[in-house]
Structure 1
């Protein structure tokens, strides 16, 4: 008979645990017959299988006890064949149970020989249906394991592979023979499996399975990054002894790549949306360029620089005919400290870029320039000189991308991107993203550029319309004045001051503010200032001047303005003032607290139909009369009275030269983000 032995290594604690296992599942019964066919050994499973006790079976002829009469000849023939040394006999045979029913039993018979030379027949029997069920289960299990689309493996208690199915061979890129007897760490040395093996040991120790363990890595002979989902289950026999570990592995590379691509697309859309908010917050060119550099680091590149063609900037030269171009470096941003920033072109300086430089080619050609993997030769085409190339190599620049900044069909410059610590090279997706960011930023840069043109034109117009900085002082007065445009590039325009000599050695002091901003406000201011100078030849009374000026302002259409006018007579010290909706002047007298001059403010110019009351006061020698526009004292987060108090407190300090006083007031009261321009005029009475 064939005997199948299943064995495993037992520890000391397992030595007494002999029961259990496959034989228990099969319910194998052992029966020994002598050479006459009489039963000489009857095992307890035989008692359970056939229903006869040992006392009832021992010594009886097996064929008479278990086989119906019509089949006994067949049994005797098989018995004689086995006893004659004819090998084994196996097969299914109907047997009678003690209770009278007939059942089909699977037999395995073989001859035994004792030391005395006596021959015996050993029969192992198991219910036919039990054997067939187990055979079907094993066949089904084998077919499932071999044909399963997921990787399956069995590991022993030392985490060494015992069985690997074809799917796992394909997943790991190794045949089953190279798995068996080896641990996962030995089979997959290119993956970080230390943590995975730790969890496998936890499953063996606790019996709690681990499901859907996610891992990413590469397999031999494949540069593609793969993703897997693994589950681990402890294996136990019928006696609940731990016999190993089952592993299932599903290759989820495609859904992983799809999720990565989707996540990358979401990040890029988010970045583009973020750029729409973060880039172009002001109409200042350097600020806009810096915002573009900052929005690309570190999401797109590790180092970003923004260079604008000098030809696109106000007052710049045109591009050279030799293919080179003059650039002005506007911004640079790095994710961390790196020598690459020292290799960048100096911010604010105008430099001629050689035509072989890649950033020049991107700007001149109007197309992105991509170098996925930078070589030493490429560095010389990226850097401005050999020393800069050496610094870029030291920084580890391994991938490069330059994208032109194009707005309204005109190339304004280029966005220069480098990668050092990000391992992945730039690809076509990065080109599309950088081009989209550059296109959006280019519009903001172009807006800032045009506003800068407008600002310069407005400033030039306004400064041309204002009095000269170093005009001689009028009789009896020492004069200091300032004009400071707004911080925002589109807010320049409407404030002015003037010092007008009139008959009798008297002087008109004028400060005004046209409502609105830009070049229109500057032009309106010029008209009003010219009108006052013309009217001053006819009348010098401040109230009359404001009345005539109000009519002129109404003739200008929608224009409105505020103004305060003071007429000073050095012979008498008399100063006559009138106001049209303007902040009151401040009188600073030595030995007294500075205070605003109380005036009936009257309506703004352009309202019409209302008078402009005047008031007289006397200026003594050393008195300062401070006239200003609302941009000096009005801010959004403080009350006007509080700001006026700050102004008078500043004037209450020690006496200073008038120029120093102007500088003090502007530095103390003006903020970097002021949205209004300021005109300031200080007149000091002198002997």
Structure 2
């Protein structure tokens, strides 16, 4: 409420205002006599109140030569013919003349008496004041920033046009109301508290930032506001002045820049996190994880079954067949239960939006999801109901395209995130999908290539059922690499020879992939053919060495053990291959001491032979280096682990193979493993080999 001023307060207020303006006030009655003479008039003209009051103004202030002009102007003002303004020479008490600016108007008292009010000032002073007032008015009315004055009760008493535009409310609807009443949609309680502190303390609040949603244009806006306490010359609080600057445009630009930085960071992060392996499910899961929660609350990755390894159908044959590969949610939600089961193949009809994205190869955006849209997003009506209850309100599907081929789709939903997907999200999701699609394509081609390599390698290896050569029980295993990019060229073989003898062979072609598998097949075939002609291990390795040189850029390791059951005699030769392990009942298992020759393909060097006598119950364990070579452990320790596994009571050979592979397995194995175990059986006609055969170059290794 505005305070009503008494007569004394009014005089003080008027005096204070005249002091600020620096002008004199003179009131003249109908007879031309001075009725009021302000202190400013005394200072300006030199006459005291006692000297001026009751005198004829024209006689006191002007000379005889100008008296008539003053009287005529006075009569026009008193006749109500308007105001009079202009410059006029006035006589000072000391006799000199002042050129003053005069503003005159007629006033009427409560008694009905008419008076003339004159406002006088030195010409430069009044012009300066008027220019300042005109400038102030223009600044208030035309300033691009919002300006307002509030009283001590925080009710608007002045609002400029800029603040009208900022608030979207006419000035008339501001006046007499508080900020909370004018803009109830904003959180102004804290702002009003700060205004009251400014009124109480006099300390201004400068450039305070505020963000809010304005209903007149449906946009979020940002402002900086400043609050100042207003005081008069007597330091009495008159109210509060506020300035409001709309900074929505730079605010939106800063938000856009921040979003751009986050998106670039997300893309860079995706380049690191997606495609860490060549495993399809892992790559799909990495893509889903990188998009949650930065892009979506729920993400799913579906691949066309036709592009997956081993697929029998073709793309475009009837309804699209998808395989759900991954789903990720930012928080536990029933919406994940409505997704297609991971790993299962589902026929997606054309009406489904994810199908459209994959078949058309273009993003599908539904900013505001309706009930009808949910039926085209979910796999069935029940799933659509679950998605509705979960709060799915915005949807985006983008195709996964690599090397010109659509591989599937990235399916994105928003539930808790209130913002709908927009075109920026489409661009970001498309970029993420494009990068991930290359990793997915690499993974599927790797799996295809690896499958072909494994098929070739297994075709070239011995049959699943172990042979039964004379005097020996045989068991073997082949284990492909887990962490390697491609399957290697490891092989093993059991070759029956004349006279009941048997050649046991393990080898490892350096390199990987189909080339290594094919080279392995050639060396294995050559070994089987040559063994029937020249079974001696050293001669076999010499011929294989020449064959490897003929193949060009081929290098391999190989170990050959020629066993004769008649005397338990075994001859061994190695071409750079790890030594076999001998496990004899009652003795500690240990590697057989060999003098290995160079790997196959080097050429020109001999292959020393080692003679060994085997006894019934002995196990000779042959393997490739993938069993004992790992990055973070010494080979000797791995060999010790292998010999420890072979200690103790004898197990069935198949169980021994399983035990060794399970115990020695590492999840980061970089190489294939071939394992061949031969157990010496008792001879039907006696027990040859029960005693060592001592001869030059032979040894018992017992």
1:642 aligns with 2:637: yes
1:135 aligns with 2:148: no
Seen in structure 2, the aligned counterparts of structure 1 residues 440 and 80 have a Cα distance that, compared at 3 Å, is closer
| Secondary structure at 2:612 match in 1 | strand
Seen in structure 2, the aligned counterparts of structure 1 residues 233 and 557 have a Cα distance that, compared at 3 Å, is same
Match of 1:178 in 2: 173
CA drift of 1:66 comes to: 4.5
2:375 to 380, 383, 406: 380
| Secondary structure at 2:511 match in 1 | coil
Q: Report the TM-score, using the length of structure 2 for normalisation.
A: 0.86
Contact 1:476 1:686 in 2 (8 A): yes
1:558 to 541, 553, 556: 553
Greater Cα offset, 588-597 or 515-524: 588-597
Deviations 1:235-278 (A, max 9, x none): 33334444333323333334444444444444434433443333
Deviations 1:183-205 (A, max 9, x none): 22221122233333344344444
5+ residue gaps in structure 1? 1-6
Match of 2:400 in 1: 405
Greater Cα offset, 125-134 or 177-186: 125-134
2:456 to 435, 440, 461: 461
Contact 1:20 1:239 in 2 (8 A): no
Contact 2:487 2:513 in 1 (8 A): yes
CA drift of 1:496 comes to: 1.0
Match of 1:4 in 2: none
Match of 1:352 in 2: 347
Match of 1:227 in 2: 222
Match of 2:144 in 1: 149
Q: Report the TM-score, using the length of structure 1 for normalisation.
A: 0.87
Greater Cα offset, 242-251 or 71-80: 71-80
Match of 1:192 in 2: 187
Deviations 1:128-183 (A, max 9, x none): 54333222211111112212222222222332222111122122111100111222
1:268 aligns with 2:263: yes
CA drift of 1:475 comes to: 3.2
Deviations 1:352-393 (A, max 9, x none): 223332222332333333322222222222211222112111
Contact 2:623 2:674 in 1 (8 A): yes
1:279 to 270, 274, 277: 274
CA drift of 1:399 comes to: 1.8
Question: Distance in 1 between the 2:600 and 2:678 partners?
Answer: 24
2:652 to 633, 645, 657: 657
Deviations 1:488-535 (A, max 9, x none): 464203111112223333332221110000011001111111111112
Contact 2:467 2:494 in 1 (8 A): no
After the TM superposition, which residues 240-251 of structure 1 pair with which residues of structure 2 at under 5 Å, given as runs?
A: 240-251=235-246
RMSD of aligned residue pairs (Cα, Å) = 3.6
Greater Cα offset, 395-404 or 362-371: 362-371
Match of 1:599 in 2: 594
| Secondary structure at 1:534 match in 2 | helix
| Secondary structure at 1:218 match in 2 | strand
| Secondary structure at 1:314 match in 2 | coil
Greater Cα offset, 137-146 or 429-438: 429-438
Seen in structure 2, the aligned counterparts of structure 1 residues 322 and 564 have a Cα distance that, compared at 3 Å, is closer
CA drift of 1:85 comes to: 10
Match of 2:385 in 1: 390
1:575 to 567, 570, 573: 570
Question: Distance in 2 between the 1:252 and 1:488 partners?
Answer: 55
Match of 1:297 in 2: 292
Match of 1:318 in 2: 313
Match of 2:427 in 1: 432
Question: Distance in 1 between the 2:279 and 2:110 partners?
Answer: 108
Contact 1:279 1:292 in 2 (8 A): yes
Contact 2:304 2:322 in 1 (8 A): yes
Question: Distance in 2 between the 1:86 and 1:381 partners?
Answer: 82
